[in-house]
Amino acid sequence: MDSISSQALLIRQRTHFSASCSSHDSCSKYFSSTRPSRRARCQQQNQEAETGSRRMRQKFEKYPDGPTQMDTPIAAYGHKRDIIPGKAFESVAFDSTDNARGPSSWPPKADLYLVRTDGMSCARETVRASGCLSFSCPSTQQHLLVWKTKPSCVMVLKKLGDELMPDFHAVVEYLGMEQGMQVVVEPHEHAKMAHKEWDFVDTFTEEEKARLAVYIDFVVCVGGDGVILHASYLFKRAIPPVISFNMGSLGFLTNHHFRSMQDDLNEVIFGSESLEQCAIDGSMRGVHITLRMRLFCEVFRDGKPIPGQQYEVLNEVVVDRGANPYLTKIECYEQGRLITKVQADGLMLATPTGSTAYSVAAGGSMVHPNVPAILFTPICAHSLSFRPVILPDYAELDLKIPDDARCPAWVCFDGKQRQELLKGDHVRVRMSPNPVPTINKADQTTDWFESLDRCFGWNERVEQKPLAPADQSKAVLAETQNGSG
């Protein structure tokens, strides 16, 4: 183990050591070899401290005019040799720097361990040979999707209505006939395509829906952001990579244009020719992909989870007062500890993807989807000091309707499955292990800023004009005079 030689160790145990760590034997040998020397060093230091304390007490008894606060630690006033018998603490004299012995005489630095409390390995956080903590890399980075084998099964979704039916058929035909792929569509769309007699088109039953992720390589969405939300809802747990074409009203998440549909799909299947650095064995290339965090939500009643009330949320979960005339009252707990009581129209917990949806309309921050965070955003809070906050992704939150609330509340998940929360009910929210992988047009950051500009007109302003030559000369002269004065 490399870290043993540096007297520092990174361990991936929860809060104790067990045989599950692959380096457990090395850890045990290391502990057994270092512990006696450290224990002996500690015992020696304790003995020296006791001896010094006993001598000082004898001196204080010999000089009754000296300090009388014997319970005060000597270390709080300096080294024991610095205390002059018969003098008060105000007149204590300390050694000057001329008598300093330097770092070479200091005791050795203590051994250091860095342990995650969730049992995962510390891959990013490291301990250097000097014992200093450091980050080996950023917490997130650009991700590339590279197929080991050519994808063969694709699902195509479109928004409701027949407006985009010709475009929908064009995508299905290109993937099925040109690329030779199995195309899967939803049952209601499959019924409308019966006259096409395309043998490469198939659908699924309600019982087969839970296992779609096992067979589908990637998903094509034709429409707007709502189609991506529908894909997230359709795949309850794991979801294949998603490429979406902007044919809706806003399309913040859809950066691909339908006019380049065939080229974009070709890049998804065979990889982008502009990304040589992700080639594997010189034969396959990849595309940029964003792993969008989801929230896993459970509804509890009488302290127990309600069967069938578990949801994967891509945007936000919202608890509000509904049609009740009173403010909703929500007790918010993090890891079982009460952090605040909300009195407002409602409260939402949003993902970074959802930060540019309902959350930003309620005054929350806009967060890049690669940032691992949970947004805590109040809705019309009856408090001037209640500001939105951003929590780390490991936070586990409970939103409870207390028994003394004036009215029940309502909850919805990505705008769906709206239901009433009775007094005593609570919703538990934590990070889901199943992200929504969306395929980028350029890369994660470029697409995000392009969407901010295209959809929101972010920071649009008439640019300030430069100073005229005459005014610029006056400004330079004024600066020169101020500098010389």
CA angle, 91 then 94 then 96, to 5°: 135
Local structure of 318: helix, strand or coil: strand
Local structure of 263: helix, strand or coil: helix
CA atoms within 13 A on the CB side of 203: 14
Contact criterion met (CB below 8 Å) for 79 and 105? no
Return the residue matching tokens 């990013």. Answer: 124
CB-based contacts of 268: which residues, under 8 Å, 6+ apart? 145, 151, 218, 241, 243, 287, 439
Distance CA 428, CA 431 (A): 10
Distance CA 361, CA 369 (A): 17
Give CA separation, 137 vs 29, 123, 126, in Å.
30, 9, 10
Return the residue matching tokens 């809060």. Answer: 15
Return the residue matching tokens 């399309």. Answer: 251
CA atoms within 13 A on the CB side of 178: 12
In the 3-class helix/strand/coil scheme, how is 376-392 assigned residue by residue? EEEEEECCCCCCCEEEE
Tokens of 54: 């006993």
Distance CA 236, CA 337 (A): 30
Q: Which of 82, 95, 225, 281 is catalytic?
A: 225
Contact criterion met (CB below 8 Å) for 372 and 139? yes
Q: Is 225 a catalytic residue?
A: yes
Contact criterion met (CB below 8 Å) for 221 and 228? yes
Query: Which residues participate in catalysis according to the annotation?
Result: 225
